[in-house]
Structure 1
Amino acid sequence: MTQLSRTALGELTTPALLLDATVLERNCEAMAQRAARHGVALRPHLKTSKSAEVARLATRGHSGAITVSTVAEADYFARHGFLDITYAVGIAAGKIDALHLVQRTHGARITLLADRVEAVRAAAARARTLGARFGLLVEIDTGGGRGGVAPDDEALLAVAREVQASESLWLAGVLTHAGHSYHAAGLAAIRGIAEAERAGAVHAAARLRAAGFEVGTVSVGATPTAVCADRLDGVTEMRPGVYTFFDLDQAARGICRIEDIALSVLATVIGHNPRSRRVLIDAGALALSKDESGAEFRDGLGFGLVCAAQGTTPLGGLRVAELHQEHGLVACEGDGKAGVQAMFDALPLGSRVRILPHHACMTAAPYDRYHVVRGNGAGVHAVWGKAQGWHAATPAAWHDAATPATGHGAATAAAAAA
């Protein structure tokens, strides 16, 4: 982390990723309290932030256990002292070498995920060759339809038996993710999915125990179900992720309020086009992502809502209507001549705006740092680094990262240390 002496937003090169620490802290505390009320551990999914500074807030008061989705994240967080890591993507044997190196280098404990006998067999064989050992969670499909075995499927026991037969793997428990909750309309529907998620994971664990297997972990996780679950009995941990930042997708369904969105993209107005009735900004598809997930539940969001640079209250009727790779085109409701002129007047050339994103995970991913602000304060007071990409850094890269780089495109000291 790099501390700054209140760098003004106007001094930042855009597009820049802004993170409101006040909102972030509030979101993290609310989820921690929710987990405590349910009597379950919180293992936050850090694919959203990919940031050690965010991880410290998200695990405050908890064990420090985390969830990741890439080898790069596992490596990054282990280097920052987070040593109990669930790699929550079905394991491919080709990733065992890198994950073993993370375990061996940092003393981390990485738990794998699988739903097929063949995947377990291949991972076990590679781990055995390396002299490595991993815990493994059996992935359960509780309605999402992406990966996992059904709670009643005979394949559940077959996967567990394959793990038990291995010298290099041990059965840690079961894991499920109700990803379909992101498409449920209304909180009542999400509560129903949350109960199905809980019941399916608990049932799968009960079947394994009845067959003589030890099941220590019963893991569920998605921000909508974590927020809406009425009960989590039988569950040992939950793994929400996007709650740290929230976004328009969550706000569109009532999971959060607009004022709970901690992440925004700072952009510069670079043009007025009276022919197309658009304002051009320098944040395009790569800076914002083309995700329109919130549009499933709320009209008028475009590719993001436009706010003044000093806050995150949407400016009435303005949205990012179109995206090109490095251009965003802002439109106003109605597109009438008077409205367009008012938009041009409100957003003069060279002025700054903030854009609230649909999907925080997708928007944050390409950036190498967060510019940390607090509410409508005077400017940036810190820069936080983050992981990027899919592959673990090499020891040589760690050494190179110790030297702060210069220039906007190079990693800052905070990003390098991250």
Structure 2
Amino acid sequence: MAAQTLDDLPTPALILDRAILRRNLKRMSERLRNAGVMLRPHLKTAKSIEVGRMAVEGHDGRITVSTLAEARYFADGGFKDILYGVGVVPSKLPAIGELRRRGVNLRVVTDNAAVAKAIADAAKNGDTFSVFIEVDSGGGRAGLPWPELPGLLDIARILHDAPGVELAGVMTHAGHSYHESTPDGIAAVAEQERRAIVGAAEKLRAAGIPCPIVSGGSTPTAMHSRDFTGITEMRPGVYVFNDLDQEYIGSCAPSDLALSVLASVIGHYPHRNQVLVDAGALALSKDISAQEFKPQVGYGTIVDAPAKDMAVIACSQEHGFVGAEEPIPYGNLPIGSRVRILPNHACITAAAYDRYYVVDSELDGGKSVVDVYDRINGW
């Protein structure tokens, strides 16, 4: 049987360029190793054992996930040190305990004293837990607000004093780095991130409470931080694939985007200078993050477009409306022809698919499918 090409695939399909993926992984791996910081990649982007194994190559294997489904999937794949990076609730502690009894060091996160007490109580039944306290370093999503850090010592003492509970350390996610678009701006957020978690760790240690792990996050700060002093690990995620948002932030170059959506042209509409493709909101997502820096990207840009600024400018559920800044040469895009669309946000676009069709631009320009990687979706 002949090897599949992109023309053989059903559309829409999720395409991953292995050559670009490997370059992205190598760049981050070397950057953090040279900085003396451990890499705990956030695999919520890839949700793939194959990508996860490549991401931790040369490191100690620690990873981050965002759902219990991911935790089980990566545990089944042999990963043993897993941070479940979303605030835990007491109802999920039995599932956490079940995985830990399998020999998986599944760690949880909280910023709440009542949850800390629930963890301590659950440990009385024989389960063990490893817990991070989350700090809000400026992103405004979750965590104890820095610099006040209200309740930090109370939460820490509940955890530290509970038999069977390990206070693993402190963590943060500098999500506000996604709104910067210059190296200096991102570096300033990275320094804010560093000061927040290092400050929290120092406060714990001054109170006689150990804080072994000081964990930062975000691809932009991992790429642009100028000082990692006091940080023990970083948890970048989207760097494995990159996307239009990361390109315009300045975390990567246009040639570093490994992920695209393959779509078919299904309609020509010269009266409005548009074509239709069979990749709509469910195939691309309605994330518009990159529009903050370049509105013309719409819901994704067309690879090797035959017209300037060609992008999916509107979406319905299964239709993508493709427009351009100049007249579209319809002869270059006959009905049934294929286009590849670069997503605004790789994590959310990829969540629509159960597999990656893997190509390799260093082998044949990325025309043949060289592998298929599975993904874990849902919760």
Of the candidates 15, 23, 28, which is equivalent to residue 26 of structure 1?
23
Are the equivalent residues in 2 in contact too, given 1:371–1:383 (CA < 8 A)?
yes
Structure-2 change in CA distance of 1:151 and 1:91 (3 Å): farther
Q: Which amino acid aligns with 1:371?
A: Y
**Equivalent residue for 1:155, pick from 129, 136, 151:** 151
Q: Give the corresponding residue for 2:351.
A: 365
2:341 maps to which of 345, 348, 355: 355
Q: Indicate the RMSD between aligned Cα atoms, in angstroms.
A: 1.5
The answer on whether the counterparts of 1:247 and 1:261 sit within 8 Å (CA) in structure 2 is yes
Letter in 2 for 1:230: R
TM-score by length of 2: 0.96
Q: Which amino acid aligns with 1:327?
A: H
CA contact (8 A) 1:91 1:123 kept: no
Conservation of the 8 A alpha-carbon contact between 1:140 and 1:151 = no
Which residue of 2 is the match for residue 323 of structure 1?
A: 315
- TM-score scaled to structure 1, two decimals? 0.87
1:140 counterpart residue number: 135
Q: How does 1:18-167 map to 2 (within 5 A)?
A: 18-105=15-102, 107-129=103-125, 131-149=126-144, 150-167=146-163
In 2, distance between residues paired with 1:136 and 1:12? Answer: 44
Matches for 1:9-408 after TM superposition, within 5 Å: 9-105=6-102, 107-129=103-125, 131-149=126-144, 150-308=146-304, 316-334=308-326, 339-340=327-328, 342=329, 344-375=330-361, 376-390=365-379
Could you tell me whether the CA contact under 8 Å between 1:307 and 1:314 is conserved in 2? no
Task: Name the SS for the 2:75 alignment partner.
Answer: helix
Q: Is the 8 A contact 2:307 2:325 kept in 1?
A: no
CA–CA separation in structure 1 for the residues paired with 2:323 and 2:34? 44
Q: Is the 8 A contact 1:40 1:236 kept in 2?
A: yes
Distance 2:46 2:241 in 1: 8
| Alpha-carbon distance, 1:127 to partner | 4.5
Instruction: Report the AA paired with residue 370 of structure 1.
Output: Y
Structure 2 unaligned blocks of 5 or more:
none
The answer to whether the 8 A contact 2:17-2:366 is kept is no
CA distance in 1 between partners of 2:306 and 2:51 (Å): 25
Report Cα offsets for 1:348-388 as digits up to 9, x if no partner. Answer: 10000000000000000121100000112331010001111
For the pair 1:6 / 2:3, whether they are aligned, the reply is yes
Decide which moves more: 118-127 or 316-325.
Answer: 118-127
The superposition leaves residues 39-67 of structure 1 with CA deviations (integer Å, 9 ceiling, x where unpaired) of 01000000000001111111010001000
Distance in 1 (CA, whole Å) between partners of 2:306 and 2:15 is 15
Deviations 1:174-206 (A, max 9, x none): 101100100123221110010111111111101
Q: What secondary structure, in the 3-state scheme, does the structure 2 residue paired with 1:171 have?
A: strand
Comparing 85-94 and 115-124, the one that deviates more: 115-124
Please give the secondary structure, in 2, of the residue aligned with 1:317. coil
* Partner SS for 2:309: strand
